């Protein structure tokens, strides 16, 4: 069984590098299969692990990005993968339909004090708490719940940066509680934005603009980002935020004058929340600059195929993926042969400063139809498909038995598969993979088969 998806949803590739190893078939009766197949099935089972593999790195710049578990915000300069600048678009929702900001007395007046965007830190970050220059723009293009949003989609925004001077440059504090008035609140990023937003909302009281149906068109949302400025390698950070936390919201702080029972000139302080909830549409947009990345990354993306045999690259945040092709997989076809197991072994280069993805997925690719598809093995469950991070052995192992069998025996076209990270749109993890020509720990496809 396979499920075809628009290739944009699984990611759109561009260029890459191509590598070739000689095809040599050899029979073995020990090795990796002992960790995969039951001992009673090993008798008479043979192994081949020298099939040709071609690998290369391509951009992963168009993935489904809306409604994920976190959004990314920040500017980071990775010494190996180059610069990453992330921001996000989000709707705001009314806490109540047709809100009323006064108590109904004709003499009452409202005065805006401030408008604050609060963002709840997630439990993860990439890089450090380097000071960032934050920018917030009002959207000039509406978001719709029935539309799919991809990581490379740019929305129209209004010209003016809404961030107030006192909030513009801040050092993120994901582990630091925040004091607001007399209250101590959980860690959050708080950005003061133009109070004119509050005035505009108050002036719309009683109109359809402040209905739950009309508000998304009246106030289309915000684009929250950081200044795209150069940061020296190893500095900066991208922080993860949970927009569905009750902490994440825009709060209108205002004064209510001349309320019944309050003396002339006195006022009552009030606040009203604009929510980011499950009805709100939001997504991250990340921009990568690989011009300062490792030469191998730059070369492979420019079409130089000479370095990918040694190493290839995977980067979340809609960054990079690795394409893998087995041009001679059909050469093992034989009427007296049955494939018991086919496992792609993917060693990686450990980097204690930057965490690799917790899992790699292998997805199929249909070039002619510009589509991607899920390999049939993924429907067998996580324990079968694998792809999980093995920190001890610095490798991933992906079971592609069903797909390899279909290709080898001609029921499926032999096209490349692609290695993509989990949380590709809501994390910034990255990893350097060993290619099939690596001298010590090469990437390899290990096939166990039975001869009849």
More confident residue, 19 or 447: 447
Q: DSSP secondary-structure letter at 139?
A: B
What does the alpha-carbon distance between residue 274 and residue 243 come to, in Å, rounded to a whole number? 12
What does the alpha-carbon distance between residue 135 and residue 254 come to, in Å, rounded to a whole number? 23
Closest CA to 143 of 222, 30, 63, 246: 222
Q: For residue 217, what are the β-bridge partners?
A: none
* Cα atoms in the 13 Å half-sphere on the side-chain side of 362: 30
State yes or no: pLDDT of 37 exceeds 60: no
CA dihedral 179, 100, 113, 105 (to 10 degrees): -120
What does the alpha-carbon distance between residue 65 and residue 148 come to, in Å, rounded to a whole number? 8
pLDDT tens across 170-214, in order?
A: 999 999 999 998 899 999 999 999 999 999 999 999 999 999 999
Residue 41: predicted pLDDT: 52
Q: DSSP secondary-structure letter at 163?
A: B
- Cβ-Cβ contacts under 8 Å for 363 (sequence gap 6 or more): 10, 372, 373, 374, 375, 417, 418, 420
Residue 42: predicted pLDDT: 54
Number of Cβ atoms within 10 Å of the Cβ of 442 = 19
What does the alpha-carbon distance between residue 128 and residue 154 come to, in Å, rounded to a whole number? 27
* Strand order, beta sheet including 337-347: 45-48, 444-451, 337-347, 395-399
DSSP assignment of 357-372 equals PSBEEEEEEETTTTEE
Contact between residue 92 and residue 250 where contact means Cβ atoms under 8 Å apart: yes
What does the alpha-carbon distance between residue 286 and residue 342 come to, in Å, rounded to a whole number? 35
pLDDT tens across 49-102, in order?
A: 999 999 999 999 889 999 999 999 999 999 999 999 999 999 999 999 999 888
Q: How many residues does the chain have?
A: 452
- Cβ-Cβ contacts under 8 Å for 104 (sequence gap 6 or more): none
Percent of the chain exceeding pLDDT 90 equals: 78
3-state secondary structure of 42: coil
Q: Is the dihedral of CA 152, 156, 160, 162 positive or negative?
A: negative
What does the alpha-carbon distance between residue 389 and residue 362 come to, in Å, rounded to a whole number? 14
What does the alpha-carbon distance between residue 160 and residue 407 come to, in Å, rounded to a whole number? 55
β strands within 295-442, DSSP E: 311-315, 320-325, 337-347, 360-366, 371-374, 395-399, 417-421, 430-434
Residue tagged 């970050």 (tokens): 125
Cα 157 to its chain centre, rounded Å, is 22
Number of Cβ atoms within 10 Å of the Cβ of 3 = 12
What does the alpha-carbon distance between residue 183 and residue 237 come to, in Å, rounded to a whole number? 28
State yes or no: pLDDT of 31 exceeds 90: no
Using 50, 70 and 90 to split pLDDT, how confident is the model at 106?
low
Average pLDDT, the chain: 89
């Amino acid at each position: 069984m396979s499920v075809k998806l628009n290739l944009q949803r699984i990611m759109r590739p561009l260029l890459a590098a191509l590598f070739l190893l000689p095809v040599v078939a050899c029979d073995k009766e020990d090795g990796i299969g002992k960790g995969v197949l039951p001992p009673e099935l090993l008798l008479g089972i043979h192994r081949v692990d020298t099939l040709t593999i071609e690998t290369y790195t391509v951009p992963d710049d168009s993935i489904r990005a809306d409604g994920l578990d976190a959004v990314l915000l920040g500017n980071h300069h990775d010494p190996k993968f180059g610069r990453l600048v992330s921001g996000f678009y989000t709707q705001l929702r009314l806490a109540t339909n047709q809100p009323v900001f006064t108590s109904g007395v004709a003499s009452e007046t409202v005065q805006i004090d401030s408008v604050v965007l609060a963002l709840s830190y997630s439990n993860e970050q990439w890089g450090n708490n380097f000071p960032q220059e934050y920018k917030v723009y009002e959207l000039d293009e509406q978001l719709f719940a029935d539309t799919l949003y991809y990581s490379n989609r740019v929305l129209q925004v209004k010209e003016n940066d809404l961030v107030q001077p006192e909030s513009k440059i801040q050092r993120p504090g994901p582990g630091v509680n925040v004091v607001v008035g007399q209250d101590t609140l959980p860690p959050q990023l708080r950005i003061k934005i133009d109070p004119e937003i509050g005035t505009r909302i108050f002036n719309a009281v009683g109109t359809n603009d402040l209905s739950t149906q009309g508000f998304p068109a009246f106030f289309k949302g915000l684009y929250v980002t950081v200044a795209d400025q150069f940061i020296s390698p190893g500095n900066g950070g991208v922080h993860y935020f949970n927009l569905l936390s009750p902490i994440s919201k825009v709060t209108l702080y205002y004064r209510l004058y001349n309320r019944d029972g309050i003396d002339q000139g006195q006022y009552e302080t009030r606040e009203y929340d604009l929510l980011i909830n499950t009805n709100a549409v939001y997504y991250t947009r990340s921009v990568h600059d690989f011009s300062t990345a490792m030469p191998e990354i730059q070369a492979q993306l420019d079409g130089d195929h000479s370095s990918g045999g040694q190493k290839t690259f995977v980067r979340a945040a809609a960054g990079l993926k690795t394409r893998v092709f087995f041009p001679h997989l059909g050469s093992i076809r034989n009427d007296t042969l049955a494939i018991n197991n086919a496992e792609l072994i993917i060693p990686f280069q450990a980097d204690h400063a930057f965490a690799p993805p917790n899992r790699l997925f292998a997805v199929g690719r249909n070039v002619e139809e510009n589509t991607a598809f899920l390999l049939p093995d993924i429907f067998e469950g996580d324990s079968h498909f694998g792809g999980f991070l093995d920190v001890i052995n610095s490798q991933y192992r992906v079971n592609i038995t069903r797909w390899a069998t279909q290709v080898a025996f001609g029921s499926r076209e032999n096209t490349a598969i692609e290695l993509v990270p989990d949380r590709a749109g809501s994390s910034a993890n990255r990893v350097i993979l060993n290619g099939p020509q690596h001298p010590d720990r090469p990437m390899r496809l290990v096939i166990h088969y039975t001869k009849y």
